[in-house]
Amino acid sequence: MHPMKLRSRFAASAGGLAILLVGCAGEESGAAQDTVSEVTAFEGARLILGDGGQPIEDGVLLVADGRLIEVGTRGGVQVPTEAVRIDLTGKTVMPAFVDTHKHLGSARETLTDQLQHLAYYGVGVATSLGQDDGDLAFQIRAETIPDAARFRTAGRGITMSEPGRSEVPYWITTEEEARTAVRELAEREVDLVKIWVDDRNGQYEKMSPELYGAIIDEAHRFGLRVTAHIFALDDAKGLLRAGVDAFAHGIRDQDVDDEVIALFQDHPEVVLVPNMPGRGVAEDLSWLSGTVPPVELQEMQAASRDNPDAQEAFGIQARNLARLNDAGVRIAFGTDGSTPWSHHLEMADMVAAGMTPAEVIVAATRTSAELLQIDEVGTLEPGKSADFLVLDANPLDDITNTRRINAVYLRGAQVDREALGARWMAASSTEEA
Ligand SMILES: [Zn+2]
């Protein structure tokens, strides 16, 4: 059994809406109502379920104890008379984002602040991919932090020795070291095993197929999945042959060929996280004004310019993503780095590469939850955690509408975006003073 399943049973209870509505239903309660119930009905929004299907227009979500209990149309869902009703007419509701590739802080205060910042921008789950030493990441993973995204971790990733780079990951040179590292990670019940297969432009020896083969084999014995940082087409092929579960980046050195597409098709469970580079085009950043103070935002805006080199690098990965997506490869979602709003840029980049907004939304919700094996998030379905965004406009029409966030709910509780935004604006102005 996978350890996630056990943990997810406990994760839900804490954050339900703190509104007590009705006591015991009394004498005639033949139904399930002998305990205190607190139900909230969100009514009238377009519901994007995260499953790639048609959205539900004029939908209703019923939430109790932090969970979705019903999802349907206004006529189809019976709203209990005691429910609190929230009118969302004209809004669009979709599942909170699941990011499978971040690198966040290693101190409690920083990491908590980052998880709250991610929640402000609609992320429900953030995964730290391979730079976590010590116990903190595992402690935070087990906690429910108010107004914060859930945290998942790969613990320490596994790489060849890379002098000058981070020493947090395991540096291995033999199969035995590779297997020992995986066994230690299994003991900590990491959410993914992260490996790096990259010579960093010829600087380091690249991890050999023998070594990554041993890692993948040992990980699978413990029911763990392996995700690989790659750069080159040939390494993608080797890893697919070796049974890798996911890629934490797209193929970046050249355009994909028929052979790699055939390998992906032979391994239909493998998940690609494209992790696109910047598109190299000037962008309007005014949508960040809720958390970035005016002076900083002006500087960022001035630095956002067209960049032909970046456009070329984007072109390779965009063509590769489009081809692999057309070939039916499973696409998930990750952004790398710590920027709390980068998922909104990444989604627009994936659409610019040729995916539809609906496909990108599935990648950033359901498929990413599946990669992490977190059953209770990723779609709007009865029984799942009430992790969703309320948007002022429909992202199926224009993916940048994911930035027009009206409200974020995690575990059924509304994230206090106003207080969080005020905190970051105030913090930055003190720094500048
Ligand atoms: Zn990374």
Q: Is the model's pLDDT at 31 over the cut of 80?
A: no
Share of the chain above pLDDT 90, in %: 89
**Taking residues 139-148, what's their average pLDDT?**
98
Q: What is the residue-averaged pLDDT of the chain?
A: 92
**Taking residues 273-284, what's their average pLDDT?**
96
Question: How many angstroms separate the alpha carbon of residue 335 from the centre of ligand 1?
Answer: 8
Question: How many angstroms separate the alpha carbon of residue 152 from the centre of ligand 1?
Answer: 14
Question: How many angstroms separate the alpha carbon of residue 188 from the centre of ligand 1?
Answer: 20
Question: How many angstroms separate the alpha carbon of residue 336 from the centre of ligand 1?
Answer: 5
pLDDT tens per residue, range 154-187: 999 999 999 999 999 999 999 999 999 999 999 9
Question: How many angstroms separate the alpha carbon of residue 294 from the centre of ligand 1?
Answer: 30
Question: How many angstroms separate the alpha carbon of residue 200 from the centre of ligand 1?
Answer: 13
**Burial, 137: exposed, middle or buried (Cβ in 10 Å; 0-12, 13-18, 19+)?**
buried
Q: Is the model's pLDDT at 127 over the cut of 80?
A: yes
Question: How many angstroms separate the alpha carbon of residue 13 from the centre of ligand 1?
Answer: 32
Question: How many angstroms separate the alpha carbon of residue 45 from the centre of ligand 1?
Answer: 36
Question: How many angstroms separate the alpha carbon of residue 34 from the centre of ligand 1?
Answer: 50
**Taking residues 218-243, what's their average pLDDT?**
98
Q: Is the model's pLDDT at 34 over the cut of 70?
A: no
Which residue has better confidence, 384 or 30?
384
Question: How many angstroms separate the alpha carbon of residue 406 from the centre of ligand 1?
Answer: 30
Select the CATH number that applies to the domain covering 96-378 from these four: 3.10.20.340, 3.40.366.10, 3.20.20.140, 3.30.1600.10. 3.20.20.140
pLDDT tens per residue, range 386-412: 999 999 999 999 999 999 999 999 999
Model pTM above 0.75: yes
Question: How many angstroms separate the alpha carbon of residue 103 from the centre of ligand 1?
Answer: 6
Question: How many angstroms separate the alpha carbon of residue 293 from the centre of ligand 1?
Answer: 28
**Taking residues 51-65, what's their average pLDDT?**
97
Name the residue among 118, 93, 52, 44 with its Cα closest to residue 404: 93
Under the banding of pLDDT at 50, 70 and 90, the label for residue 11 is very low
Which residue has better confidence, 285 or 7?
285
**Taking residues 323-333, what's their average pLDDT?**
98
**Taking residues 65-84, what's their average pLDDT?**
97
Question: How many angstroms separate the alpha carbon of residue 163 from the centre of ligand 1?
Answer: 18
> What's the rounded Cα separation, in Å, for the pair 227 and 208?
16
Question: How many angstroms separate the alpha carbon of residue 162 from the centre of ligand 1?
Answer: 15
pLDDT tens per residue, range 200-217: 999 999 999 999 999 999
> What's the rounded Cα separation, in Å, for the pair 74 and 60?
5
Question: How many angstroms separate the alpha carbon of residue 19 from the centre of ligand 1?
Answer: 40
**Taking residues 26-37, what's their average pLDDT?**
46
Question: How many angstroms separate the alpha carbon of residue 128 from the centre of ligand 1?
Answer: 8
Question: How many angstroms separate the alpha carbon of residue 346 from the centre of ligand 1?
Answer: 14
Question: How many angstroms separate the alpha carbon of residue 9 from the centre of ligand 1?
Answer: 29
Question: How many angstroms separate the alpha carbon of residue 249 from the centre of ligand 1?
Answer: 8
HEC sequence for the chain: CCHHHHHHHHHCCCCCCCCCCECCCCCCCCCCCCCCECEEEEEEEEECCCCCCCCEEEEEEEEECCEEEEEEECCCCCCCCCCEEEECCCCEEEECEEEEEECCCCCHHHHHHHHHHHHHCCEEEEEECCECCCCHHHHHHHCCCCCCCEEEECCECEECCCCCCCCCCEECCCHHHHHHHHHHHHHCCCCCEEEEECCCCCCCCCCCHHHHHHHHHHHHHCCCCEEEEECCHHHHHHHHHHCCCEECCCCCCCCCCHHHHHHHHHCCCCEECCCCCCCCCCCCCHHHCCCCCHHHHHHHHHHCCCCHHHHHHHHHHHHHHHHHHHCCCEECCCCCCCCCCHHHHHHHHHHHHCCCHHHHHHHHHHHHHHHHCCCCCCCCCCCCECCEEEECCCCCCCHHHHHCEEEEEECCEECCHHHHHHHHHHHHHHHHC
pLDDT of residue 29: 41
Question: How many angstroms separate the alpha carbon of residue 102 from the centre of ligand 1?
Answer: 6
Domain boundaries, the chain: 96-378
Q: Is the model's pLDDT at 428 over the cut of 90?
A: no
Question: How many angstroms separate the alpha carbon of residue 119 from the centre of ligand 1?
Answer: 20
> What's the rounded Cα separation, in Å, for the pair 2 and 190?
11
Question: How many angstroms separate the alpha carbon of residue 112 from the centre of ligand 1?
Answer: 19
**Taking residues 253-275, what's their average pLDDT?**
98
Q: Is the model's pLDDT at 238 over the cut of 80?
A: yes
pLDDT of residue 347: 98
pLDDT of residue 28: 41
